[in-house]
Amino acid sequence: MALHGKKGFSASQTKRTSRRVSDSMIGSHVARPSVSRGRHGADRSSTGTSRVDFSDSHRSRRATRGFVDQIDPQATSGESDADFARRANRRGYAEQIQSNARKKRVATLAVIAVAVAAIAVAAGVAAFFAFSDSRLSLGDSNAQEALTAPADGEPYYVLCTARLAPAAQNDPDGEAYMVVRIDEQARTLTFVTVPARISVELPDGQQCLLNEARTQLGDAELIRQVSELLDVPIAHFASTDAAGIARMVEIVGGVPVNLEVEVDDPRAGIDVLAAGEQTLDGRQAVTLLRASNFTEGLATQATNRAMFTVNLAGRATSGEGLSFPTVVSDAAATVSTDWTSGQIIALGDALRPLSEATVYACAVPGRLADGEGGQTYRVDGDELTAMMEAVRAGESPQSAEGSAANVNRELITVDVRNGAQVTGAAKRMGELLESVGYQVKSVGNTNDNTTYPETLVIYKDPAFEIAAKAIVSDLAAGRVVNGGDFYTFDTDVLVIIGQDWIPAGS
């Protein structure tokens, strides 16, 4: 039955429809040539419409009437090449925008991650230094009161102290004091050993030993006294003890030393350290620093202490084993100082490698003498002045051969003659010189009937000039004279007593 208002397909309409869709039919066929405009175009020549022939005649008739079985998924879009290119470009541009947006998000996240990591590292480093600094602090020491800030880029002085004996003993020989001049630009270190038995005067006029000044008025008074003695400003202060030294040696895995002479001092420790190269453990290091019974006394002790300190620092900064910041952190609990861990690390970097730095060592010139309160160390002012001039100039202080404090008195022979016309003066001077180690060969009076106003200490061989200076220092009187051919004597030095020398007990 036909629908009202509608007409069915005519035969001609059916054929046209069939021809339009025949190109999209799938089956066993042979396509006839057709003309197309463009790769994506669908316009055909009006006279060249494609037909599809099937091997099955029934299917061919069905196709002619307009029936289709399937639609080819590769059907053309019907757009021109230019339209297709514009559409493709628009799609590529959109995809590029999306890609750039994704990259921007990734980059932003990466920057945030790096910033977070940097903040975490900075916080960790800050915590590390804060922790180290808290352990390095001076605590209840009043040292800061006496320190003088150094000028930028200029050499400066550090007072290093170590209690090598229990504090309760208050033994001056158990205290080690060293002033170190540090020149970072020239990479030069000069160590000056300061004996704790030096007699000093406190602000109230009281006389006492240097270590007692520290006990009574604290580290600040020790710094003031040492600064005045050496005539240099002290910029930094560091203090440790025997346990701290042993711990630092343990942290760096031992300290190598090359000893010029054997160390065998029962008062210093049970260890005997042979001369030559060796690596010290903590206990041996403390023994070395305590030892003082050397032929050249204070000079050898000063050399040993300077060598040990430099080699300890060299091990810490060498990069072998633990890193230097880690060493500083681990050793912080053993040292009390105004320095921060950052300043110590910067100093280590400036001086490294310490094996290539210039190192000098010397001691305050003088001698031990008996006094009312026991032995004191009498400083040779002239020798000290000359030595410190060299130290301040960054030059080598007087060598062991050039310092009266380092003369081996046991090897020096002396004749003593009384020219002061004081009965018994020659005998008493001879006893004094023997008590400090000299070989006194003879005593007696001069034979020229002259009264000498001053004491003369005479040498002929230039090799004994320093010995003559040592005798002047020991007597606290006299003048050194090159005797040449004017005096006759067979010993190394001749002493003619003058009226300026007053024997003890006179």
Q: What share of the chain is helix, strand, coil (3-state, %, to 5)?
A: 45, 20, 35
Contact call for residues 182 and 189 (beta carbons, < 8 A): yes
Give the count of beta carbons closer than 10 Å to the beta carbon of residue 197: 20
Across 492-498, average pLDDT: 94
Average pLDDT for the chain = 78
pLDDT tens digits for 104-157? 666 666 656 555 555 544 444 444 445 455 566 788 899 999 999 988 889 999
More confident residue, 449 or 263: 263
Q: Measured on CA atoms in the order 484, 488, 491, 495, is the torsion positive or negative?
A: negative
Residue for token digits 């681990």? 330
Q: pLDDT at position 38, please?
A: 46
Q: Rounded to the nearest 5 degrees, what angle is found at the Cα of 49, between the Cα atoms of 45 and 55?
A: 160
Question: Which residues neighbour 243 within 8 Å (Cβ) at sequence distance 6 or greater?
Answer: 334
CA dihedral (76, 82, 85, 86) in degrees, to 10, reads -120
More confident residue, 171 or 118: 171
Distance from C-alpha of 158 to C-alpha of 154, rounded to nearest angstrom: 13
Q: One-letter amino acid identity for 401?
A: E
- Alpha carbon of 181 to those of 236, 341, 362, 391: distances in Å? 11, 20, 12, 8
Residue for token digits 């006094």? 371
Q: pLDDT at position 104, please?
A: 66
Across 305-327, average pLDDT: 82
Across 482-500, average pLDDT: 89
**Percent of residues, the chain, with pLDDT higher than 70:** 68
To the question of domain 143-406 being in CATH 3.40.630.190, the answer is: yes
Confidence tier at 258 by pLDDT (50, 70, 90): very high
Burial class (CB in 10 A: 0-12, 13-18, 19+), 248: buried
Confidence tier at 323 by pLDDT (50, 70, 90): confident
- Give the CA radius of gyration of the chain: 50
Give the count of beta carbons closer than 10 Å to the beta carbon of residue 115: 10
pLDDT at 90 over 90: no
**H or E stretch including 13?**
helix 11-21
* Exposure class string for 277-311: b at 16+ Cβ within 10 A, else e: eeebebebbbbbbbbbebebbbbbbbbbbbbbbbb
pLDDT at 199 over 50: yes
Q: pLDDT at position 130, please?
A: 54
pLDDT tens digits for 125-139? 444 445 455 566 788
More confident residue, 128 or 216: 216
Q: pLDDT at position 1, please?
A: 43
Q: Say if strands 52-54 and 156-163 run parallel, antiparallel, or are unpaired.
A: unpaired
Residues in a beta bridge with 481: 458
Omega prior to 353 cis, within 30 of 0: yes
pLDDT tens digits for 340-394? 888 888 888 888 888 888 888 888 988 777 766 678 888 888 788 888 988 998 8
Which architecture does CATH list for 409-497?
2-Layer Sandwich (3.30)
Distance from C-alpha of 506 to C-alpha of 503, rounded to nearest angstrom: 6
Q: One-letter amino acid identity for 202?
A: L
Confidence tier at 318 by pLDDT (50, 70, 90): confident
pLDDT tens digits for 389-431? 889 988 888 644 456 666 788 999 999 999 998 889 999 999 9
Q: Which of 414, 476, 479 is nearest to 440 (CA)?
A: 414
Distance from C-alpha of 207 to C-alpha of 212, rounded to nearest angstrom: 10
Confidence tier at 442 by pLDDT (50, 70, 90): very high
Question: Two tokens at 339?
Answer: 């320095």
Per-domain residue ranges for the chain? 25-70, 143-406, 409-497
Strands (E) located in 219-307: 236-241, 255-259, 276-280
Q: pLDDT at position 429, please?
A: 94
More confident residue, 54 or 249: 249
Q: Which of 239, 206, 240 is nearest to 223 (CA)?
A: 239
pLDDT at 63 over 60: no
pLDDT at 235 over 80: yes
Q: Which of 288, 240, 298 is nearest to 264 (CA)?
A: 288
Across 186-192, average pLDDT: 91
Distance from C-alpha of 205 to C-alpha of 207, rounded to nearest angstrom: 6
Helix (H, G, I), strand (E, B) or coil at 379: strand
Confidence tier at 321 by pLDDT (50, 70, 90): low
Confidence tier at 450 by pLDDT (50, 70, 90): confident
Question: Which residues neighbour 220 within 8 Å (Cβ) at sequence distance 6 or greater?
Answer: 142, 143, 144, 145, 146
Question: Two tokens at 356?
Answer: 């290539």
